[in-house]
Structure 1
Amino acid sequence: MADTSSRDVPWLPAAVTGVVAFALEYLVVYLWQANRVRENLQGLNAIIELLGGQSIPAWKVVGWLFYNAHFVDITRPAFGGGRTTTNFIASGDAPQLLYVLPPLFLLIAGVVLVRYVGLSAPRDGALCGTVVSLGYAIPAWIGVFAVRVTTDDAWLGPAVALGFVLAGVVYPVVFGAIGGALAALTSD
């Protein structure tokens, strides 16, 4: 496509690119970690089912790792009231390499979008790359609630505010912009 100005925002391609980046990133985390998660959940799920509860699906715990990779803590009820948080990656219960995935997929999304649009000015590429957040934010916001495990009076899952801000806004805007700027900088 011809070079375009920063005022011509590619809304639909940006949304599609963001959604695809989110879906592929989750898929990679799932394929990489699901078997390990299932193994770790066997004992806990057996106890939960014995007590008449519903077992925790592996795809939800993989979602927790997905959010942990965005530095979004998992929050749970604490004994004696209140809530406590944990990050399975930071605590060493999951590979540190998971932290690389969100920036990597969002950089690639920014590059793909800017290459598709055909921008060559780094500033325009960076601005265009931020729009990847449109497609990434919606599934990130929905996912905060989709991967939550609830009981009658409590829930366990990603911290809502951090999930919305870090996973839904900060990561896609920052790394989409960097990817967009790099794509424009390296364009022919």
Structure 2
Amino acid sequence: MSALQERSEKPYVASAVAGIAAYLLGYLVTYVWQASHVREMLRGINAVLQFFGGDAIPAWKAVGWLFYNAHFVAFTHPTLGGGSVARNWIASGDAPTLLYIVPVGCLFVAGAAVAHHAGAEDPQTGATHGASVTLGYVFLALVGVFLFTATRGDYTIAPDLVTGVLLAGVVYPAVVGGVGGAIAGVLGED
């Protein structure tokens, strides 16, 4: 059996693994780059929470909100008068705009790697293989929405569920992974 035949027998396993790796790498880059800044932004909120006997919000959860912000997904938090408001730290200027390239870069590379691994030799096939990183990415995007939820008493801060799954989990990997795969397919043409 040729190497190309072996690669094409389980293409979705490689796609799911690449999608999971892209999500985890994107979160890791965001954490390493912004964790200290996020801790600083949480300092006042955490002081108030702890003063009233509550638990501080851990930086790793708030970095998750920022990671979703890099996908144009807002997180919601309660307001003093009741209700909630959507917030994006990057769009509001509280975090670097360059964070928007973190998920794009990770997904582009993942899509290109999957298409190359599958032996794509044209842009259409490459795009199809590249977009398939959605399989793993959407799973972690859904898990992340719940994992990055912080509940303190009656108040909850969390990435928006609908856009967290649809925009971050489906649209981003399908489009960006597909573009990466298409380019890999062009480069794979003989």
TM bracket, shorter-chain basis: over 0.9
Partner of 2:86, secondary structure, is strand
2:38 is the counterpart of 1:22: no
Q: TM (normalized to structure 2)? A: 0.92
Task: Give distance in 1, aligned partners of 2:60 and 2:93.
Answer: 20
Contact 2:130–2:182, Cα closer than 8 Å, also in 1:
yes
What is the CA distance between 1:37 and its match in structure 2? 1.2
- Tell me if the contact between 1:3 and 1:119 (Cα under 8 Å) persists in the aligned partners: no
* Letter matched to residue 107 of structure 1: F
Letter paired with 1:66: F
Measure how far apart 1:3 and its partner are.
Answer: 7.7
Q: CA deviation at 1:117?
A: 1.1
1:59 is aligned to: 60
Distance of 1:35 and 1:69 partners within structure 2: 17
Q: Number of residues paired by the alignment?
A: 186
| Unpaired segments ≥5 residues, structure 1 | none
Q: Matched residues in 2 for 1:79 and 1:49: separation? A: 18
Partner of 1:112: 113
**Contact 1:3–1:120 at 8 Å: present in 2 too?**
no
Structure 2, unaligned runs of 5 or more: none
Whether the 8 Å contact between 2:55 and 2:152 is mirrored in structure 1 is no
AA of the residue aligned to 1:172: P
Deviations 1:124-176 (A, max 9, x none): 11111111000111111100111111123221111111101111100011111
Higher helix share: 2
Q: Distance in 2 between matches of 1:77 and 1:45?
A: 15
Counting only pairs closer than 5 Å after superposition, residues 24-173 of structure 1 correspond to structure 2 as 24-173=25-174
Task: Note the alpha carbon deviations across 1:43-82, whole angstroms, 9 max, x for none.
Answer: 3212211110000000011001100000001111233333
Three-state SS of the structure 2 residue aligned to 1:145 is helix
What is the rounded CA distance, in whole Å, between the counterparts of 1:45 and 1:128 in structure 2? 44
1:41 Cα shift? Answer: 1.9
SS of equivalent residue, structure 2 residue 106: helix
The separation in 1 between residues aligned to 2:175 and 2:53, in whole angstroms, is: 45
Task: Detail structure 1 runs of 4+ shifted over 4 Å in the superposition.
Answer: none
User: What is the aligned-residue RMSD (CA, Å)?
Assistant: 1.7
Bigger Cα displacement from structure 2, 50-59 vs 79-88: 79-88
- TM norm structure 1: 0.93
